[in-house]
Structure 1
Amino acid sequence: MIKLRLKRFYQGGLMTSLTRLKLGILGFTACFTAQLSAAIDPYAGLWQFSQGEMHFYILIKKQGGQYYSFDHLGKHQLVIKPDHSFTIENNGEIIVTGHFERPEGGVYQAINSQVNNQQLPLTRSAVAPEQHVTHLIQAMPGTLPLTNKHHSNCAAPYQKSAQSLPEVVTSRLQDLKDNAHAKQMGLTQLDSLLIWQDGALVVEEYYNGWSQQLPHQVNSVTKSVISLLADSAVTEGAKLNYQAPISQYLPQYQNQLAQGKEQITLQQTLTMSSGLEWDEWSTPYHHRLNPQNIIANKSGDSVRFTLSTPFRKSQNNTFNYSAGDVTLTAEAIANATNTDNIADYATQSALAKLCFENAYWQLQHDGRPNAGGGLNLRPRDMLKIGELVLQQGQWHQQRLIKPDLIQAATTAKLPTPLDGPLANYGHYWWTGSEYMAGKTVTSITADGYGGQQIVIYPELDLILVMTASAYNSDFHNLPRKVKMLFLSEIAKQQLAKHASEEAEGKVQAAL
C-alpha cells in the first residue's frame, strides 16, 4: 500500500526526473545518500520528507569544495548559490530546484524544493551522522538489504596498510585528487580505487563525493555474485546440478519450457549460452526495446518473459551476453534452496559470512531482485569478493565455497567477442590475459557497465577494485587507464619481489 501511494505521488513527474538518470531504476527513486562532513556545515546532512505513510530522505555531502547529493543509484551535483537556493544537476541538466530555510545556529533546518512544479518540503533529520547511510538504506523503498542474517561472527574490517608504494604511484594518486590533473589523466569519472597486494589494502581512494561507507551500483558485477551464490548453494548441499536441465528447477514454468527449451542446462545459463534469443548490446540499456530494461522495469514476470524469447538450438553453447540467462539461474537457485528469491538466499548463504555493510538489491518491476545488475556494494565489500575468489573459496580460515567450484567458475568455458582480460567467459566471470610489467599474466574479472570492476591477478597476489560513473563513454577505456597509471608499477614491484623470493628459495634448497 505504501509503495502504491508513493508511486501515485510521483506520477506527476517527480519520479521520472529522479529515476531516468541511471539504468535499471525501479518504480521510483527518492532517496539520496551521503555522509555529513566532519566540520559543521550549514547545508550538509540528512533531510527527511514525511507525508502520511510516505517517508524518504535526502543526504547532502560536501567534498573538495563541491556539494553532492546521492541516491541509491549514484551521485548528483548540488549547486548552492549565495542566496541559499540550489539546483541538483545531472550531466548539466537541472532536475531539482530549491531553497534552504530556517537557519538555527548557522545550520539550516528546512528545505523547500520543487520537482516538475511539485512541492517537496524537507526537514533536517535527527538521525546520528554515523547512522545516516545505514538508516537510509534500510528505509529505501524498492530495495532489499543484503545482510548477514544468520552470521554474526564477522572478521575485522580492512585496515589500510602503510606498505610503501612505488613513488610514481604515490605521486599519481596525489594528482588524482586535483580535478585538473584528473581531467588530464582522463579519470574524472572514477569514483573509487582500491588495490590489495599480498594480503594488505595498499590503496583506498574515493572521488566525486563517494566515501568508504557508501554503496555504489555495481551493475553486472552482480552476475559474478550470482555465480558465487550458486557455488555456495552446491557447497551447502543444495540439489543443484549444473549439468541438469534448468526445467528441473523451474516447475512453475513447464508450459514455457518446450520446443527444445526444456533441454537448456544450468551450465548453459551460467555461461550465457542457453540459445535463447537475446540482444542487450545493440541498443542502449535505457531503450524501451532493450530486453534488460524490459525485465527490470516493465515485465510482470521476468522469468516468463525470458523463456518466451525464441530459442535457437544452433546458438546453443555459443556465448551470447544475456541478463535473461542470469534471471533463470537466480530463480533456479532460489527454488533449489527453498528460499523466496535470490536475495533471501543470499542473506542466509555462506557468502553472508563476508559481512557486507550497507549493501542492497534493487527490485525489478515484478518484485524480484535484479540478478543481472541490481546490487549496490561498498568497494570494500567488492574487495572481499575478490579475496574470496583469489583464496579459492577460503575466507579467514573458513571454507565458504569448495575450491573446485571456484576453479570451475573462473576457468574459460567459451570465447567472447571481446579481447584481452575479457576474451573468455566462465560462470559469469570473465577470464583472459594482460601484458603487465613485461609479462603476460592471467586475470579474472567481474565487470559492470560504467566502469565497475573487480580484477584478480592470481600470479601476482593482486586485486584491483574500482567503481565509476563512465556512462557516456567507452567505459572499458577507464579500467585500461587505471591499470596503466597505477597497477603496472605495482605489478612490476610484485614480479621483482616474487623473483627475489624464488631465488632465495633456491638458495635455501641448495644448502
Structure 2
Amino acid sequence: MRKSKVIIVAVILLILIITGYLERYGSERVAKGEKEETSELILSELHTVWPTEEWPTSTPEEQGMDSEKLVELFEYIEQNDPRQLHGLLIIRNGHIVAEKYTSPYNEKYPHNTYSVTKSLTSAIAGIAIDEGIINLNDRVLDYFPDMTFENMSEEKENMTIEQLLLMKTGIQWPEWDSEESSIQLFRVWDNSKSLLQYYLNQPIIKEQVGEWNYDTGAPYVLGAIIERASGMTLNEYGKEKIFDRIGMDSLEFYVTNEGIAHGGTYSQMTPRDMARFGYLYLHDGKWDGEQIVPKEWVKESLYPHTEFDVYDYDYGYYFYLNESENGRLFSARGAGGQWIIVVPELELIVIETGRSFERISLNEYILPAIKSESPLLANDQAYERLKELSEKQK
C-alpha cells in the first residue's frame, strides 16, 4: 500500500515538473513570437536531400521532369554555337538531372562568376550584422579613420552600409550609362593604386542619393568594411562562416593590388559550388539542419527594396527578383552569362556559365520540362539521348 502511494506521489510530482517546464519555456517561445514547427515542415526537412559530399544524380523523370524537353534544349545548344555556353547545370529536388559543358570547361573547372560575387558578399554581410560587428546604419567612412577622401560632403559623411547594399549611395558611378562608359570606368578603376580610395574619392550627386544606380564599387567597399571589422580577409571570414560549411571548396575571391578581397566581382568557383549557394538560399539559409545564414537576413535580402518599371526584375540586397507564372524566382547574375537561378516553388536551381542562354533555356525548355511534383514514367530512350548530348563537348 505504501509502495502504491509512493508511486502515485512520484507521478504527480513528475506531472507538475513537466507542466511547469512547459509553462515556463512554452510561454517564452510564444513571447518571442516563435512559430512551432508543424509535422509537415519536420517531415519535409527530413526528406530534403543535402549534397554534403557530392550532388546526387537522377533521371529527369524521377524528379518529375521530361527528358525529351531537355534533349530539345541540348540540341538547340549544339546547333547554335555551343561555345557560347561554358556550362549548364539543372538541379531539381536536390538532384542533378542534367549537366552539359563545352571544352575546356567541366564540373571541376572554377569559372569567373563576375558579379555573382555580389550575392556572396550580401550573405557574408548578413553574418557580420548578425554577429554585431557591423550594422546597417553604420556610417561607411567611420571604418576608414586613417584615410582622407576628396569631394567631401554631408551626404558622403553620412553614407551608410545599407546604402551600399541597396546601391543607393548617390556616388557618381557611370557603370551602366553605356558599354563604352563601363569599359572606361573599369579600365581606370582596376588600374588605380587603391580601388577603395578611387571609389570613395568620387563626388556624390545629392539629388541621386536614395536612387538605385548599378555600382560594383559599393560591394567592394562593403567587403573592405567587413575585413576591417572582423580582422579577417573576406575569403577567410566567408569560408569560416558560410562556404566551407556547405562544401564550396572551389570558391576563391579575387584579391586586388591593395590586398583587399573584391566583394563586387571576379570570384571563381565551379558550377556545382554555385549551385550549393543557390541551394542554401532555396532553404532560407539552412544547410543540413544548421542555420548558416540567418533566415531573417535571407528574407530581407530577397525583399524587393527597389522596384522597377523599366526592367523585368526588382532588386534586393545584391539579388535580382522576378515574378513568373511559377511564382517568384531570384538570381545572382554576372557579366558574360553567369547565373544562379532559383525557383523555390519548383525546388529548381539552374546554373549557367559563359554567354547566357538564360531566357531561352529557362522559359522555353527548362520550366516546360517540369511536369509534376511526383516521378514520371521512365523514358529510357530520351534519357540515353540526353546523356549522349551531355557528354558531347566541342
Q: TM-score surpassing 0.5?
A: yes
| Contact 2:86 2:352 (C-alpha < 8 Å) held by counterparts | yes
Counterpart CA distance in 2 for 1:273 and 1:159 is 41
Q: What TM-score, normalized to structure 1?
A: 0.59
| Contact 1:295 1:365 (C-alpha < 8 Å) held by counterparts | no
1:241 paired residue number: 135
State the AA in 2 paired with 1:488. Answer: L
State the AA in 1 paired with 2:342. Answer: I
Counterpart CA distance in 2 for 1:250 and 1:418 is 36
1:450 paired residue number: 336
- CA displacement, residues 219-249 of structure 1 (integer Å, 9 cap, x when unaligned): 10011111011112233x1421112222233
| Contact 1:195 1:465 (C-alpha < 8 Å) held by counterparts | yes
Out of 354, 368, 371, the position equivalent to 1:489 is 368
State the AA in 2 paired with 1:467. Answer: T
1:409 corresponds to 2:296: no
Q: What TM-score, normalized to structure 2?
A: 0.75
1:334 paired residue number: 227
Q: After TM superposition, give the deviation of residue 271 of structure 1 in Å.
A: 1.0
Q: 1:493 to 1:254 in 2, by over 3 A?
A: farther
2:213 paired residue number: 320
Q: Which has the higher contact order (CA 8 A, sep 6+)?
A: 2
Q: After TM superposition, give the deviation of residue 492 of structure 1 in Å.
A: 4.5
Q: Which has the higher strand share?
A: 1
1:364 corresponds to 2:256: yes
Out of 294, 314, 317, the position equivalent to 1:427 is 317
2:157 paired residue number: 262
Counterpart CA distance in 1 for 2:311 and 2:375 is 27
| Contact 2:56 2:94 (C-alpha < 8 Å) held by counterparts | no
Q: Within 5 Å, which residues of 2 pair with 1:208-287?
A: 208-235=103-130, 237-253=131-147, 255=149, 258-259=152-153, 260-284=155-179
Q: Within 5 Å, which residues of 2 pair with 1:113-262?
A: 155-164=52-61, 165-175=65-75, 179=78, 181-183=79-81, 188-235=83-130, 237-253=131-147, 255=149, 258-259=152-153, 260-262=155-157
Unaligned runs of 5+ in 2: 1-50, 377-394
- CA displacement, residues 160-192 of structure 1 (integer Å, 9 cap, x when unaligned): 123413143242255257x4x244xxx541111
Counterpart CA distance in 1 for 2:248 and 2:264 is 19
Counterpart CA distance in 2 for 1:494 and 1:278 is 46
Counterpart CA distance in 2 for 1:289 and 1:175 is 38
Structure 1 runs (4+) greater than 4 angstroms displaced? 254-257, 285-288, 494-497
| Contact 1:409 1:429 (C-alpha < 8 Å) held by counterparts | yes
Counterpart CA distance in 2 for 1:343 and 1:286 is 30
Q: 1:357 to 1:191 in 2, by over 3 A?
A: same
Structure 2 SS opposite 1:252: coil
Q: 1:344 to 1:286 in 2, by over 3 A?
A: farther
Out of 276, 285, 298, the position equivalent to 1:393 is 285
Counterpart CA distance in 2 for 1:271 and 1:490 is 35
Q: 1:247 to 1:257 in 2, by over 3 A?
A: farther
Q: After TM superposition, give the deviation of residue 294 of structure 1 in Å.
A: 2.9
Q: Which has the higher helix share?
A: 2
Structure ID, larger Rg = 2
| Contact 1:286 1:293 (C-alpha < 8 Å) held by counterparts | no
| Contact 2:149 2:201 (C-alpha < 8 Å) held by counterparts | no
Counterpart CA distance in 1 for 2:157 and 2:345 is 41
| Contact 1:357 1:378 (C-alpha < 8 Å) held by counterparts | no
Structure 2 SS opposite 1:356: coil
Q: 1:418 to 1:460 in 2, by over 3 A?
A: farther
Structure 2 SS opposite 1:201: strand
- CA displacement, residues 390-424 of structure 1 (integer Å, 9 cap, x when unaligned): 1111011111111000000111101347522xx21
Q: After TM superposition, give the deviation of residue 351 of structure 1 in Å.
A: 3.1
Q: After TM superposition, give the deviation of residue 357 of structure 1 in Å.
A: 2.8
State the AA in 1 paired with 2:320. Answer: W
Q: After TM superposition, give the deviation of residue 198 of structure 1 in Å.
A: 1.9
Q: Within 5 Å, which residues of 2 pair with 1:449-488?
A: 449-468=335-354, 470=355, 478-488=357-367
Q: After TM superposition, give the deviation of residue 254 of structure 1 in Å.
A: 5.3
| Contact 1:327 1:371 (C-alpha < 8 Å) held by counterparts | yes
RMSD of equivalent CA atoms: 2.5
| Contact 1:299 1:366 (C-alpha < 8 Å) held by counterparts | no
**What is the aligned length?**
322
1:307 paired residue number: 200
